[in-house]
C-alpha cells in the first residue's frame, strides 16, 4: 500500500501533461493565428502521406450539468441547436481544407463533449459523412466516441459502427446513488449494461468505462460495489481518473456539494489502491497513468510495443504529427504549435461565419519546448526516458537531475546509465516527476493555485 509520508510530501498541485507546455504557460506574446497556420501547413506537408492526421470533434451540448465536470460545455435541452452547430463545424473543416490544399488522410478520429450522443444518430451521420467526403480514410483507422449511457441508443451505435467506429467509452463515474446525486449524474447500472451489451452485439471491438475516484461521499464500500458491477460487464479498457477539483476555474459547476463531502487525500488514494488491486485481479494491466486495459486491447498492445501516444484526447494507441480540433474550445496540435478555439458557441459561430479559423490563443514551440515535450511524453507513456544522445539533452539537464535526486532517494525512480526509469512506487507520482522537467513552470511558478492535486 501507499506510503502516507510520500503521499503528504508529493500530493501537490500539478499539471496532467496532455501537452507541454501546459495551457497556462502558453506564450501568447509570440503566438499569432498566422504562425499557427504556417506551422500546421508545414507539419501537414511533412506527415500526411506517411501517417495521416487525427481529428477531434468537440460537440459541447449537455442536457444537464454534472457537477464533477471540468470540460467546456453548453447546457441546453433544445435539440434545435444541433443543426446550426453542425453547419458551423463543417464550415470550420472547410477553412482548414482550404489551408491544407491537399486531401487529409484521417488516421484517428475522436468525438468528445459535452455529450456527443446529445446529437441524433442522423445528425452524427451528417457530420461524419460530410467530413469523410472531403478526406481519405486511412487503412485501419481508429475512430472512437464518448457515449453517455442514458442517451446512447442502438441507432447511435449502428450509425457509428457503419461509419468505421470500433471504440466507445462510457462515462460511468460511480454507481452509488448518493454519489450520483451529489454530482448530478443519475444513471442506473442497467443503462450502462444495455449500452455496453448493444455495443458488443453490433461489433465494437473496444468498450471502455470511465470511473472516477475522489468524488463526494465516495467510500470503500461504494467503490468496491462499482468495480464489482464493472467486473460483470468486463469492459476492454478502464479509465480510472482522479477527480480534479478545480472550482476556482469552473465556478458553480464544481460547487454542487460541500467541500467536506470529499474524501481526504489518504482516503482518496486508498480508493485508488483498492481499485487497482481489484482491476489487476480481474486481468487488467495498468497502462501509463489512470488507465487499465485487458491484454487483448489495442492500448495494452501499443504500451508493450512502446508506440502509445498522449495528447489532448488522452492516451492513444497510434500517433500522428497533426491533430486538428474542430468545434467550440477544441485544441489543435501541429507538433510545432498548439491552438485553442474560442470557448463559447456564440463566439465560435461568429468567427467561422466571417471565414476566420476560430482560434483564440495558442503557443509556438521552440527547440527547448520540443525537447522537453518528448521527455514528458516518454515518461507519461512509457515511464522512462533517455539522455543518451546530444539531441535529447537540454541546457538545464543537470539542474533537472539535481531536482530528481530526492525522488530517487524516495524510491520513485532509478537510473540505468543515461536512462531514467519510473519505479512501480513512483508510477502514481509520474506527474511530479514530469514537473522537474517543466522549465516553463519552474521559471514562472504560479502565485495562485491553477492545477488539481497530483495524487
**One-character DSSP codes across 386-446:** E--SGGG--TTHHHHHHHHHHHHHTTSEEEETTEEEE-TTTGGGHHHHHHTT-HHHHHS--
Judgement on whether residues 349 and 443 belong to the same structural domain of the protein:
no
Mark whether 250 and 118 lie in a shared domain: yes
| 367-374 long-range Cβ contacts below 8 angstroms, 24+ apart | 368/394, 368/395, 368/439, 369/20, 369/21, 369/440, 370/335, 370/336, 372/20, 372/437, 372/438, 372/439, 373/19, 373/20
Answer with the one of 349, 364, 379 that is the final residue of a domain: 364
Q: Is 244 annotated as a binding residue?
A: yes
On whether 132 is known to bind a ligand per the annotation, the reply is: no
Residue-wise pLDDT for 309-332, tens only, equals: 998 888 988 889 999 999 999 999
Range of the domain at 392: 1-21+366-455
Q: How far is CA 444 from CA 12, 222, 322, 364, in A?
A: 17, 41, 29, 18
Q: What are phi and psi of 84, to 5 degrees?
A: -65, -35
56 is in an annotated binding site: yes
| Residue pLDDT, tens place only, 241-263 | 988 766 645 544 445 577 788 99
pTM of the model: 0.93
Q: Is 348 annotated as a binding residue?
A: no
Is 173 annotated in some ligand binding site?
yes
> Same domain, yes or no, for 422 and 444?
yes
φ/ψ (deg, to 5) at 298: -65, -30
Residue 434, annotated ligand binder?
no
- Tell whether residue 170 is among the known ligand binding residues: no
Among candidate residues 364, 393, 410, the one where a domain is terminated? 364
Do 336 and 231 share a structural domain? Answer: yes
Q: Is 62 annotated as a binding residue?
A: yes
* Same domain for 373 and 343: no
114 is in an annotated binding site: yes
101-116, pLDDT tens digit by residue? 999 999 999 999 999 9
Q: Of 338, 364, 390, which residue sits at a domain end?
A: 364
Q: Mind listing the pLDDT tens digit for each residue in 376-411?
A: 999 999 999 999 898 899 989 999 999 999 999 999
User: Could you give the CA distance from residue 284 to residue 27 in angstroms, rounded to a whole number?
Assistant: 40
pLDDT digits (tens, 9 = 90+) for 333-385: 999 999 999 999 999 999 999 999 999 999 999 999 999 999 999 999 999 99
Q: Are residues 146 and 157 in the same domain?
A: yes
Four-residue CA torsion sign, 435, 10, 277, 427: positive
- Same domain membership, residue 209 and residue 136: yes
Residues 202 and 216 reside in one and the same domain: yes
Stated length of the chain: 455
Q: Are residues 252 and 401 in the same domain?
A: no
Read off the CATH number of the domain in which 382 is found.
1.10.10.920
Domain shared by 220 and 335, yes or no: yes
Residue 344 marked in a binding site: no
Do 102 and 14 lie in one domain? The reply is no
Residues 282 and 427 reside in one and the same domain: no
Known binding residue 66? Answer is yes
| Number of compact structural domains in the chain | 2
Contact status, residue 387 vs residue 394, Cβ threshold 8 Å: no
CATH number of the domain to which 39 belongs: 3.80.30.20
Which backbone phi and psi does 206 adopt, to 5 degrees?
A: -140, 115
Amino acid at each position: 500500500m501507499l506510503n502516507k509520508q510520500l503521499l503528504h510530501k508529493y500530493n501537490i498541485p500539478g499539471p496532467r501533461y496532455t501537452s507541454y507546455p501546459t495551457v497556462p504557460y502558453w506564450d501568447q506574446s509570440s503566438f499569432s493565428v498566422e504562425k499557427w497556420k504556417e506551422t500546421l501547413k508545414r507539419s501537414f506537408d511533412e506527415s500526411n502521406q506517411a501517417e495521416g492526421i487525427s481529428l477531434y470533434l468537440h460537440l459541447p451540448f449537455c442536457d444537464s450539468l454534472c457537477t464533477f465536470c471540468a470540460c467546456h460545455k453548453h447546457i441546453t435541452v433544445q435539440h434545435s441547436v444541433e443543426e446550426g452547430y453542425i453547419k458551423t463545424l463543417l464550415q470550420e473543416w472547410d477553412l482548414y481544407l482550404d489551408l491544407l490544399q491537399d486531401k487529409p488522410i484521417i488516421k484517428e478520429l475522436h468525438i468528445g463533449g459535452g455529450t456527443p450522443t446529445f446529437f441524433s444518430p442522423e445528425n452524427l451521420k451528417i457530420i461524419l459523412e460530410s467530413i469523410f467526403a472531403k478526406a481519405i480514410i486511412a487503412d485501419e483507422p481508429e475512430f472512437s466516441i464518448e457515449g453517455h449511457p442514458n442517451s446512447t441508443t442502438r441507432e447511435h451505435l449502428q450509425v457509428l459502427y457503419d461509419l468505421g467506429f470500433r471504440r466507445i467509452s462510457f462515462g460511468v463515474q460511480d454507481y452509488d446513488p448518493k454519489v450520483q446525486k451529489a454530482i448530478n449524474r443519475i444513471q442506473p447500472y442497467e443503462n450502462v449494461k444495455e449500452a455496453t451489451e448493444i455495443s458488443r452485439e453490433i461489433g465494437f471491438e473496444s468498450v471502455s468505462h470511465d470511473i472516477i475516484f475522489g468524488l463526494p461521499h465516495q467510500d470503500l464500500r461504494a467503490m468496491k460495489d462499482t468495480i464489482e458491477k464493472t467486473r460483470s460487464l468486463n469492459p476492454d479498457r478502464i479509465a480510472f481518473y482522479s477527480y480534479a477539483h478545480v472550482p476556482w476555474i469552473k465556478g458553480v459547476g464544481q460547487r454542487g456539494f460541500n467541500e467536506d463531502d470529499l474524501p481526504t487525500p489518504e482516503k482518496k488514494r486508498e480508493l485508488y489502491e483498492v481499485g487497482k488491486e481489484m482491476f489487476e485481479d480481474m486481468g487488467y494491466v495498468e497502462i501509463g497513468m489512470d488507465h487499465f486495459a485487458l491484454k487483448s486491447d489495442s492500448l495494452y498492445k501499443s504500451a508493450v510495443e512502446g508506440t502509445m501516444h498522449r495528447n489532448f484526447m488522452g492516451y492513444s494507441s497510434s500517433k500522428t504529427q497533426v491533430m486538428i480540433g474542430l468545434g467550440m474550445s477544441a485544441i489543435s496540435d501541429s507538433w510545432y504549435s498548439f491552438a485553442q478555439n474560442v470557448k463559447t458557441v456564440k463566439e465560435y459561430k461568429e468567427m467561422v461565419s466571417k471565414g476566420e479559423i476560430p482560434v483564440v490563443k495558442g503557443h509556438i514551440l521552440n527547440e527547448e519546448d520540443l525537447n522537453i515535450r518528448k521527455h514528458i511524453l516518454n515518461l507519461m507513456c512509457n515511464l522512462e526516458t533517455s539522455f543518451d544522445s546530444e539531441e535529447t539533452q537540454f541546457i538545464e539537464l543537470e539542474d533537472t537531475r539535481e531536482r530528481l535526486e530526492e525522488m530517487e532517494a524516495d524510491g520513485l525512480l532509478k537510473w540505468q546509465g543515461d536512462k531514467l526509469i519510473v519505479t512501480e512506487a513512483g508510477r502514481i507520482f509520474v506527474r511530479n516527476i514530469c514537473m522537474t522537467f517543466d522549465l516553463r513552470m519552474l521559471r514562472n511558478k504560479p502565485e495562485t493555485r491553477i492545477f488539481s492535486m497530483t495524487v
